[in-house]
Chain A
Amino acid sequence: MIPVAFDYIRASSADEALAALGEHGDEAKLMAGGHSLLPMMKLRLAYPSVIVDIGRLSDLSYVNDGGDHLAIGALTRHRDVEINEMVQEHAPLLAMATAHVGDPQVRHRGTIGGSLAHADAAGDHPSALLALGGSVVATSASGDERVIDGTDLFTGFLESSLEPTEMITEIRIPKHTGQGWNFQKFNRRAQDWAIVGVSAQRSNGSAKVALVNMHPTPIRATAVEEALAGGASAAEAADQAAVGMEPSGDLNASVEYRSHLARVLTRRALEAAGIS
């Protein structure tokens, strides 16, 4: 399968990539690792006329200690996030969710910024970002930076609040050192996307829960969180996991089955995170 023809620009700096976006606007797509975009282009579900290759911007590949948070460069590859000791210590949920993305070959190429910009409800990263209360830094062609909270990032099916002339340059994850957490992923083959997944993260007495593939967007399970805040047990709160969700049915799972999975996996995740 061959993508539709396109013009190729290899950016040697973020400024160069943003200038190309400024020039070509909607016609251009950034390609980081290319492991979400290229498969869509091969299936001709996406056909950008300009590809701006940002895969070599190694200065955007890092994990830094930002004090109360970890600052992760957008071009940091999944493998490098997965095995990073600071991520494992301060945000183990993110390390575990990352370890569930695709397979080793995919994790050698895919990047955390690319995954989040792709805004796939079936992706593992967005749920971890939401449960950890993370945010992204978006830089625009004019050089402006803004911080987008994870809860404001995902706006529709494969749509984000990023402007066509913005790119994610950094991901910020508040430290959750030593706090209970869990990641659940149910799929039929090891490397598949989740049929349903759950990220659960405790934080100083409260808990955030986010679901994978239960809605057109990555989403927080606010009904579960509110039930827990109101004193419900893990099992009672997990019963609320499908409230307000609009999952799709497909060959793998009907709407009813997905809703059932969300309740079961949320209970498991909460209990494993130490909530009884």
Chain B
Amino acid sequence: MEISVEINGTSHTSDVEPRTLLVHFIRDAAGLTGTNIGCDTSSCGACTVHFNGEAVKSCTMLAVQADGQSVTTIEGLANGDQMHPMQQAFMNCHALQCGYCTPGMVMASVSLLDEIPDPTEDQVREGLEGNLCRCTGYHNIVKAVLSAAGGGQ
């Protein structure tokens, strides 16, 4: 069936099978490969995007469920050459090693601060429970999120 999904403000229309996963639509139909596929079982969070403003795992949604709805991916965060404050905080705090989990971590972190603008360290750790970093770089990721919440201090 033909569906249209607004991704990062641009409408993407494509004819898809109902069983097409949202993450495949984002990567293959829209050509936005910043969103990674990790475990493909809704455990690791690498495929996290914003669906109508909230973090979701795009490997556990059908593209048809997103028909007519709004998706933001990691490519949609920056304003031109100016990084999103969360991206800048990840860079400042060295919150990545191999980088594979990073797009999902950043998207989950932005969603977390939308819901809890001034979280405690515990709230950040709990709020990111849906994202796994196999480099175990969690300490700096938590620092980055706290830094972004504090206005990049």
Which of A38, A51, A191 makes the CB contact (< 8 A) with B60?
A38
Interface residues in chain B, defined as those with a beta carbon under 8 Å from any beta carbon in chain A: 1, 17-19, 21, 40-43, 45, 48, 51, 54-57, 60-62, 64-65, 67, 108, 111-112, 115, 126-127, 129-131
Chain A's interface size range is 20 to 34
**Are B130 and A191 in contact (CB-based, < 8 A)?**
yes
By Cβ-Cβ distance, the 8 closest A-B pairs, closest first, are A103-B130, A8-B18, A190-B129, A108-B54, A3-B19, A105-B130, A103-B129, A105-B57
Q: Tell me the A40-85 residues at the B interface (CB within 8 Å).
A: 41-43, 51, 53, 55, 79
- Give the residues in chain A near B1, CB-CB below 8 Å: 8
Total A-B residue contacts, Cβ distance less than 8 Å:
80
Given the known interface contacts A53-B64, A109-B61, the answer about A190 and B19 at a Cβ–Cβ threshold of 8 Å is no
Segment 99-147 of A: residues with Cβ below 8 Å from B: 102-106, 108-109
Q: Is the CB of B129 within 8 A of A39?
A: no
**Taking CB as reference atom, which chain B residue is nearest A3?**
B19
B45 to A103, Cβ gap below 8 A?
yes
In the assembled complex, which residues on chain A have CB atoms less than 8 Å from the CB atom of B45? 103, 105
User: Does B19 lie within 8 Å of A39, measured CB to CB?
Assistant: no
Which residues of A are interface residues toward B (Cβ below 8 A)?
A: 1-8, 10, 34-35, 38-39, 41-43, 51, 53, 55, 79, 102-106, 108-109, 190-191
Q: How far is the CB of A118 from chain B (nearest CB, A)?
A: 14
Supposing A8-B64, A39-B42, A103-B129 touch, asked if A2 and B19 sit within 8 A by C-beta, the answer is: yes
Partner of B19, one of A4, A10, A105, A108: A4
> Is there an interface contact between B130 and A106, defined as CB atoms closer than 8 Å?
yes
Interface contact A108-B56, CB-CB below 8 Å: yes
